Amino acid sequence: MIRCFPVLTIFFLIGCFFISSNGRAQSEFKKGYAITQNNDTLYGDLKNASIFSNCRECFLKRTGEANATIYKPSEIKGYRYIDGKYFISQHLPGTHDSLVFAEFLVDGVIDLLYYVDSKENYYIRKSDKEIIRLDYTDTIVYIEGSPHAYESTRHIGILKALMADAPQLFNKIETIKEPNDRQMICLTSEYHDAVCPGNQCQIYRKTMPAFQASVNPSISYHSKLGNINPYTQFNLNILIQAPRFNDRFYLVTGFGYAEAKNHNNQRQSIVTIPVRFRYAIPKPLLKPHFELGWSFMHLDDDKGNQGIGYMLDGGAGLSLRLVKGLWLDLSVLGRTTPFEFYLYSEESPFTFSYSLEAGLIIEL
């Protein structure tokens, strides 16, 4: 088993290299612009980073330049992705009087801003007055030694006070147990329509769910695995992402089933549950992706022998857009066993195989 670890280490490092190197590639950038302190517009490509990074710095690769320039909130007024997120340099309560980049969600009678530090924060500003943070906390409090969940409601009082001239929205305000993008954007836009009819507010970002799932039915060909001959497997996977934080990372899990034969021509049933992390480079029509994770397997043969184990997976692939919400997905995965399956006690503890997978990704 000892000689297995160097191979596993190399396998892991190769996967990390592909992910990190592609994280620095040109495809990480999207068209956009930055606004200087003199109100000049600098066009180019903006790094498509996580919301946490977006709130702290702006990476702009100006048109015609090879390298990106990093701008801090004190150096520019803001930046925006073309037809996408818009960040402005702003002092926010609770950020130690320093300038940060806050995402501008809604520009209307009430402005709505969004900022992420150790948690999500929403800020509102009415008619160019001071910015107010919507305080929300959830915690566990102990009453006579027993734990009780506590959720603050101060944000509800703040919203009612600021929107006192639209009491018809009070019921909707009371349904906001914990502020989120969808509810806050909807509420502030409805308030604008109620007190300023005929003058539409500007929504800079479409609401995104905290989590989003896609279904991935597929068929895969697997090379010889230990004493099991090559076989075909049917898979039904789920891809889960958190687009509000990052639109590139996915959790891949699901279920796979195959029937195969070993070198003694005995039937083997194989059940596979993958747990992999996928990094996809967003493109309109073609998305390269890289994966790394594990597959947990259960094997059963004609004699009633059973075996369990897990394998380390890594690979790459492409997703081709067919129509809106539907992608053709092609992948190549390498697979190695860090520990011996019980069925393979007579074999070497090191096993390597590969698989070719083709399927569809159906966005829900």
Same domain, 149 and 279: no
5 belongs to a structural domain: no
**Residue 352: burial class (beta carbons within 10 Å; 0-12, 13-18, 19+):** middle
- Residues found in the chain: 364
Residue that finishes a domain, picked among 207, 227, 262: 207
Q: What is the CATH number of the domain that holds 79?
A: 2.30.30
Contact 300, 44 (CB under 8 A): no
Start-to-end CA span in the chain (Å):
43
Supply the DSSP string of 45-114, one letter for each residue: EEE---HHHHTT-EEEEETT-SSPEEE-TTTEEEEEETTS-EEEEEE-TTSTT-EEEEEEEEESSEEEEE
Token pair of 109 as six digits: 């009678």
* Other beta carbons within 10 Å of 364: 9
Same domain, 33 and 103: no
Same domain, 98 and 79: no
Q: What is the CATH number of the domain that holds 348?
A: 2.40.160.20
pLDDT score, position 113: 94
Structural domain boundaries, residue 193 = 91-207
Same domain, 95 and 72: no
List the chain pLDDT tens, one digit each, 364 residues: 334 444 444 444 444 444 444 444 434 788 899 999 999 999 999 988 888 889 999 999 988 888 889 999 999 999 999 878 999 999 998 777 689 999 999 999 999 999 988 888 999 998 777 899 988 876 666 666 777 666 778 889 999 999 999 999 999 999 998 888 888 999 999 999 999 888 888 888 766 677 889 999 999 999 887 778 899 999 999 999 987 677 789 999 999 999 988 877 888 889 999 999 999 987 768 889 999 999 988 888 777 777 777 788 899 999 998 988 899 999 999 988 654 444 444 444 557 788 999 999 999 8
12 belongs to a structural domain: no
Same domain, 357 and 262: yes
18 belongs to a structural domain: no
Question: Buried b vs exposed e over 312-322: b needs ≥16 C-beta within 10 Å?
Answer: bbbbbbbbeee
Same domain, 120 and 167: yes
Same domain, 281 and 344: yes
Residue that finishes a domain, picked among 40, 61, 84: 84
Q: Which residues contact 83 (CB under 8 A, 6 or more apart)?
A: none
Contact 160, 173 (CB under 8 A): yes
Beta bridge partners of 46: 30, 60
Same domain, 187 and 229: no
* Element housing 12 (H / E): helix 4-23
- Name the domain count of the chain: 3
* Other beta carbons within 10 Å of 301: 18
* Element housing 329 (H / E): strand 326-336
Same domain, 50 and 149: no
